[in-house]
Chains A and B, each alone.
Chain A
Amino acid sequence: MSVNINIRNITKSFGEIQALNNVSLDIDQGELFGFIGPDGSGKTSLFRILTSLLLPDTGTVSVDGLDVVKDFKKIRNITGYMPGRFSLYADLSVEENLNFYASIFNTSVKENYDLIKDIYSHIEPFKKRKVHALSGGMKQKLALSCALVHKPSLLILDEPTTGVDAVSRMEFWELLKKMQKINITILVSTPYMDEASLCDRVALMQNGNLLAVNTPQQIIKQYKQQIFAVKTDNMHPLVADLERMNKEALVYRFGESIHVSSNAYDLELFESELKTNLSKLNHKDIRINKISPLIEDCFLALMDKNVVE
């Protein structure tokens, strides 16, 4: 039912811009696979190649043994795609959109109602409403329903949670987890790094390159540095001050504190030096905590390394 995907040496450029640079990747059957990366990292281009909307310059992609260029007709029958931009007909009602996409795939809403029930039940009370009058979260649920209505074995979601409130985002991920159980391979891209930990495996992308492909746990495990969360009474100049003091370390804002990652040999010494240097610069009420890294810390470190190299 679900499919595996083999991506081999995919390259795609638009004029001067290298959107994808020699990307190779294998995705297993029934995986919930996440693509994490900032805007312009090549996530959408890769998805458009997977859905046969875009032809790669070089390289091959096969979905369940089918080539995306040669067998695109077969692939379109088994793929559900939800583009990053909301792409349903705003002047049709919720119900009309769903029926329309069901009939294009030669099926009916009734036939696959079990599959979409969990999602569609959220918006069913509004089924007579025109789509342009729906909220962002409801639009996403409808788009997901439409992508699922033909019972695809591969579901590709391009930034489904962008612009959706935090509660709806969590709901959305719960739905994806549920769907995974009914044996659909799911690819999701997102610019939100915290969502990475919800995937089985993630690929970190930047400037068309794959920086890391692994399970979230493994990515955290491979992180060797120590992170210090720093807070003082005067947060405003703190980033600049810390950067000046620690040329080697990576310094970035993280929530309410500033994270400093260090690979110093003697961490105790590093911490006390940090404290004395900060008080010299008139920072008071200095709090420094050693913390264990989150997946965001790992990504930021990987991306920083990629830029430096």
Chain B
Amino acid sequence: MLQIIFIIPVAQLLILAYAVTFEIKNVRFITIDHDRSTHSKKLINKFNGSAFFEYKGNAENYEEAEEMIISDKADQVLVIEPGFGKKLNTERTGSVQVITNAINGNAASLMSAYATSIIADYNREIIIEQNPVNFTGLPIDTKPSFWYNPELDYITYMVPGILVLLVTIIGMFLSGMNLVKEKEIGTIEQINVTPIKKYQFIAGKLIPFWVIANIDLAFGLVIAKLVFNIPIIGSLPLLFFVASIYLVVILSFGLLISTLTNTMQQSMFISWFFLVIFILMSGLFTPIESMPQWAQMIDTINPVAYFIKINRMIMLKGSGFMDFQREFWILIVYAIGMFIFSTMRYRKTA
């Protein structure tokens, strides 16, 4: 069991950090080139030269292109109308069509954005080419600068969140299964006839898992640093301090489920119910700010969301205690409340 407790989080971290990414590479891209001019060739070459696109050839017509999308051999089609090159030379305008397979909406908008930026790039080149003397640049020059994650590395963003995820899963399941297991095998009967106090019993259940989860977190941080080279800018003691409070919330939550259920199966289902909601709404994958209002309301009682936010702030931005005060006090109240609640729900009589 002890090996499992430590191997699973490591495996989770290694797999998820690499797998969960929104970057799209190797977009399979085909063309319907009705023009076949030097201009159209140049545009296609620009796509071809991009690391994101993988050119899969030219289709003769829409039917052939659609067939390739349906059979999942292509993701995106660039349609160039006849006379595109000629029009560019004479009228100085031209139009192309970009068709994207939008089954996965997220991926589609990214693919579309990539394609648009390549076409915009090509636009610039044409302007310079056609008007080399007078071109002085576009009126507003944008120079984006990405703070805290300059290379826009997705792993840097994900790993602090995944660390939270793994201590949450470990904590919730260990505590959620434990008390109910004692009910199933009957050992609780012998404990219940003793004069042990309720809070002593619940605390006795909580502390070992609290230690294990903290060790797991330390383990995960070492891997984050050594394997993924994630910057840990903020204070580690502060991070563990917040984690300790957060773990009381999660472990008490698990123990509460355990006191309310009679079999491990029931406990498992309820733990999963809350875990899935908490995790998917935690802002790990999708920003909380882009969720509908009601979902953001629900997130005010989502402890996972608070800790992911704080963890990212400490690890990536080096935020101090004053920067996440509000979230911290909410976690404190939550921890005290959940501990009292689970203690109250634990019954020494049937």
Contacts and interface: CB of A to CB of B under 8 A. Distances in A.
Interface of A: 48, 51-55, 72-73, 76-77, 79, 81, 83, 85-90, 101, 104-106, 146
A274 B176 CA distance: 66
A83 B195 contact: no
B187 A87 contact: yes
The 8 closest A-B pairs by CB, nearest first: A87-B190, A85-B186, A81-B193, A83-B189, A104-B194, A87-B186, A76-B195, A87-B189
Contact of B349 (A55, A83, A89): A55
A55 B348 CA distance: 11
Contacts, number: 48
A77 B189 contact: no
Contacts of B189: 53, 83, 85, 87
A90 B185 CA distance: 10
B192 interface: yes
Indicate the member of B186, B187, B188, B193 with the most A CB atoms within 10 Å: B193
Nearest to B201: A104
Nearest to B348: A53
Interface of B: 185-196, 348-350
Nearest to B349: A53
A85 B187 CA distance: 9
B196 to A, nearest CB: 5
B195 A53 contact: no
B349 A52 contact: yes
Contacts of B186: 83, 85-87
19 contacts: A51-B193, A53-B189, A53-B192, A53-B193, A53-B348, A54-B350, A55-B349, A76-B193, A76-B194, A77-B195, A79-B193, A86-B186, A87-B188, A87-B189, A88-B190, A90-B185, A104-B191, A104-B195, A146-B190
A198 B189 CA distance: 27
Contacts of A72: 349
Contacts of A87: 185-190
Nearest to A80: B193
A283 B200 CA distance: 70
B196 A104 contact: yes
B195 A105 contact: yes
B31 to A, nearest CB: 66
A53 B350 contact: yes
A89 B193 CA distance: 15
Contact of B190 (A54, A55, A83, A90): A83
A87 B190 CA distance: 6
Given A87-B187, A87-B190, A104-B191, 10 more contacts: A52-B193, A53-B189, A53-B350, A72-B349, A79-B193, A85-B189, A87-B189, A88-B187, A88-B190, A105-B194
Contacts of A55: 349
Contacts of A88: 187, 190
